[in-house]
């Protein structure tokens, strides 16, 4: 049984037990990102894809103005009134509350409903479990209360605004966009300013994409994530630009004396990363995965030394990958823990994973978790 089928049957079963039969089922996805990290809120380009790990929710309107939720993963319930100002205390329920509020803010309708949901995106691994939750409910509530009239771009923005206004993470649009727009077998090159996107079939013959999770948890709210964004905005402001998207290294060097060393290095990373995304797209068109991998390592260097969102455990995993001859490896997602994304030649996959497990356990006292992912569809009705 696939994991989604498993999620589907346990979600439905629990819904029937708690609220009686008759729910509609929805699914959405977490995401990976091949390259283009911390470029989304700089109005740059990213190259994510939805994965075959996500959230499944059973949802049914209940004719009241109360929302009743059950999270199978937490084994607990939460309830809130749609007119409430502050929302529920449980963090996981705040995501759903935020989605409801953001739909209403945009003129959409949301009535009371009952829902049970479960997921298989590990939380805090950098795979966007929160975007999966947001997009699943945004999609479901659009379908159930708005006849699918909210366009998909807006569904992604609803998730992003939920992060900004109810969770406190000033994130970009990448995660929610990938979670809503994901397409099986394709990465998407997304222009985070215009939201224009191009699907890139991704089937690297002879290579596997594997995630190695350090199991070091990161918490983006109240974390240096928002400070990174603030640094970028300060530098863009100093350059007289709306964002770092158009900034060049020459312009950055010219204002260097006016910047803190930290802000300078943050911007240097972002400008370099913009060029690397373009480089990876060109390499993918040529089927040149060795160049893709080289750029992934460069991204890691930038994220570790200039952007400073890595940590010893993740640097260690990238070093192990390099030692094992892995084609490309880097920290993925917001940073401060989570996992590395690795592009590995098939013949090296098992030796790499065995070595990573053994060396990591030797150093940190526990094994990393390994996830092989498939690029899959985003939010949808089941
Ligand atoms: C988190 C954010 C995204 C993006 C990445 C870093 O996942 O939610 O918007 O900024 O970090 O690329």
Task: Give the residue, by CA position, lying nearest to ligand 1 atom 2.
Answer: 171
Write down the pLDDT at residue 3: 83
Write down the pLDDT at residue 32: 98
> Contact at 8 Å (CB) between 141 and 148?
no
Place of tokens 């390099």: 322
Pocket test for ligand 1, best of 42, 47, 334, 337 (most atoms within 8 A of CB): 334
CA pair distance 372, 379, nearest whole angstrom? 20
Contacts for 194 with CB less than 8 Å, ≥ 6 apart:
none
Look at residues 163, 77, 70 and name the one whose alpha carbon lies nearest to residue 117: 70
CA pair distance 381, 332, nearest whole angstrom? 28
CA 312 to ligand 1 centroid distance, Å: 20
CA pair distance 54, 28, nearest whole angstrom? 5
CA pair distance 242, 346, nearest whole angstrom? 43
Write down the pLDDT at residue 123: 86
Encode the chain (382 residues) as per-residue pLDDT tens digits: 468 889 999 999 999 999 999 999 999 999 999 999 999 999 999 999 999 999 999 999 999 999 999 999 999 999 999 999 889 999 999 999 999 999 999 999 999 999 999 999 988 889 999 999 999 999 999 999 999 999 999 999 999 999 999 999 999 999 999 999 999 999 999 999 999 999 999 999 999 999 999 998 766 555 789 999 999 999 999 999 999 999 999 999 999 999 999 999 999 999 999 999 999 999 999 999 999 999 999 999 999 999 999 999 999 999 999 999 999 999 999 998 999 999 999 999 999 999 999 999 999 999 999 999 999 999 999 9
Residues 132, 133, 138, 144: is their CA dihedral positive or negative? positive
b/e string for 136-158 if b means 16 or more Cβ within 10 A?
A: bbbbbbbbbbeeeebebebbbbb
CA 59 to ligand 1 centroid distance, Å: 28
Task: Give the residue, by CA position, lying nearest to ligand 1 atom 8.
Answer: 171
- Name residues contacting ligand 1 (CB within 6 A): 37-38, 40-41, 128, 171-172, 174-175, 333-334
DSSP state of 366: S
DSSP state of 326: -
Write down the pLDDT at residue 185: 96
Q: What predicted TM-score, i.e. pTM, was given to this entire model?
A: 0.95
b/e string for 76-104 if b means 16 or more Cβ within 10 A?
A: eebebebeeeebbebebbbbbbbbbbbbe
Write down the pLDDT at residue 218: 60
> Contact at 8 Å (CB) between 219 and 334?
no
Write down the pLDDT at residue 2: 64
> Contact at 8 Å (CB) between 110 and 139?
no
Write down the pLDDT at residue 140: 98
Residues 7, 10, 13, 14: is their CA dihedral positive or negative? negative
Active site residues: 175
Contacts for 142 with CB less than 8 Å, ≥ 6 apart:
103, 108, 148, 149, 150, 155
Write down the pLDDT at residue 376: 96
Residue 5, classified by CB atoms within 10 Å of its CB into exposed (0-12), middle (13-18) or buried (19+), is: exposed
Pocket test for ligand 1, best of 333, 336, 337 (most atoms within 8 A of CB): 333
Write down the pLDDT at residue 26: 98
DSSP readout, 193-256? TT--EEEEE---TTEEEEEEE-------TTSHHHHHHHHHHHHHHHHT-SSGGG--HHHHHHHG
Write down the pLDDT at residue 5: 87
> Contact at 8 Å (CB) between 42 and 244?
yes
Contacts for 297 with CB less than 8 Å, ≥ 6 apart:
318, 322, 328, 329, 330
Closest ligand 1 atom number to CA of residue 46: 12
């Amino acid at each position: 049984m696939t994991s989604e089928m498993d999620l589907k049957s346990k979600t439905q079963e629990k819904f029937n037990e708690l609220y009686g039969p008759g729910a509609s089922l929805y699914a959405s996805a977490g995401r990976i990102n091949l390259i283009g990290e911390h470029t989304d809120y700089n109005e740059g380009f990213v190259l994510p894809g939805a994965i075959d790990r996500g959230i499944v929710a059973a949802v049914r309107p209940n004719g009241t103005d109360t929302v009743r939720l059950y999270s199978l993963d937490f084994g607990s319930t939460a309830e809130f009134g749609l007119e409430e100002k502050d929302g529920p205390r449980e963090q996981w329920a705040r995501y759903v509350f935020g989605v409801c509020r953001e739909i209403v803010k945009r003129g959409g309708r949301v009535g009371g409903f009952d829902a049970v949901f479960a997921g298989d995106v590990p939380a805090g691994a950098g795979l966007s479990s929160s975007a999966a939750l947001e997009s699943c409910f945004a999609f479901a509530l659009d379908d159930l209360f708005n006849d699918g009239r909210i366009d998909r771009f807006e569904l992604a923005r609803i998730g992003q605004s939920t992060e900004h206004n109810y969770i406190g993470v000033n994130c970009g649009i990448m995660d929610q966009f990938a979670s809503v727009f994901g397409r099986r077998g394709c990465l998407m090159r997304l222009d985070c300013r215009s939201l224009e996107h191009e699907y890139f079939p991704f089937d690297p013959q002879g290579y596997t994409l594997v995630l190695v999770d350090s199991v070091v948890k990161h918490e983006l709210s109240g974390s240096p994530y928002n400070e990174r964004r603030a640094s970028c905005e300060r530098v863009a402001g100093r350059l007289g630009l709306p964002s770092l998207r158009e900034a060049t290294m020459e312009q950055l060097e010219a204002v260097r004396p006016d910047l803190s060393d930290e802000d300078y290095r943050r911007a240097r990373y972002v400008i370099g990363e913009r060029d690397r995304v373009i480089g990876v797209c060109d390499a993918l068109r040529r089927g040149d995965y060795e160049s893709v991998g080289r750029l992934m390592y460069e991204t890691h260097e930038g994220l570790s030394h200039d952007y400073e969102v890595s940590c010893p455990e993740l640097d260690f995993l990238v070093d192990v990958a390099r030692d094992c001859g892995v084609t490309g490896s880097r920290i993925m997602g917001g940073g401060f823990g989570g996992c590395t994304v690795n592009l590995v030649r098939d013949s090296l996959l098992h030796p790499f994973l065995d070595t990573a497990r053994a060396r990591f356990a030797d150093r940190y006292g526990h094994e990393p978790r390994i996830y092989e992912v498939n690029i899959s569809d985003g939010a949808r009705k089941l």
